[in-house]
Amino acid sequence: MKLNITPNNTQKKLGEHDFIVSKTDKSGRVTYANRIFMNIAGLSEKELLGVQHNIIRHPDMPRGVFQFMWNTLKAGEEFIGFVKNLCANGEYYWVFANITPDYDENGKLQGYYSVRRQPPQSALDVLIPVYKEMLAIEKSSFTREAPEKSLAYLFDIVNQSGVKNYNRLILDLYKPGGV
């Protein structure tokens, strides 16, 4: 299922103590969504379960970010990042996302577990211009390498920031006051 939604410029904000929780199978189909997720996205449990999690992907999000996310998860590592999501009514909301591989008792990957919370505005102030440039890079490149090119730009930003890696930059941005 793909939502045919025209994004608008109205932001919906998570509450300070709200946590969006979801689980997916190995291919990213939603197997669990908590009520906060359903409420903010404006989608029912029936509309979410069994559907690709990217149903809420906002067109302002660079594909390079998601390529990096999947590369990280497939390597068995935790992904953290800031993501702009789309609501069923066209509104958007930002989250600080923490996604981890979910293994069964035998150590076999069964899917992914995600917890998302309200991001600090200071982090968004830093990342929104970076994401806009990543999108511009992707739009100017009509090749399959577009996500890699935008991701290279993101890693250049990380290197210029003086921190040792992407995760350190993201965690520093999440702290009150940010980098």
pLDDT digits (tens, 9 = 90+) for 148-171: 999 999 999 999 988 888 998 999
Average pLDDT over residues 6-13: 90
Closest by CA position to 173, among listed 133, 138, 124, 118: 124
Mean pLDDT of the chain: 92
pLDDT digits (tens, 9 = 90+) for 54-75: 989 999 999 999 999 999 999 9
Closest by CA position to 50, among listed 67, 32, 34: 32
pLDDT digits (tens, 9 = 90+) for 10-57: 999 999 899 999 999 999 999 999 999 999 999 999 999 999 999 899
Domain 19-174 has CATH 3.30.450.20: yes
pTM over 0.85: yes
Phi and psi (nearest 5°) for 90?
95, -15
Element (H, E) at 148: helix 146-161
Task: Write down the domain spans for the chain.
Answer: 19-174
By the 8 A CB rule, do 149 and 138 touch? Answer: yes
pLDDT at 1 over 70: no
Where are the alpha helices (H) located in 81-145, listed in sequence order?
121-140
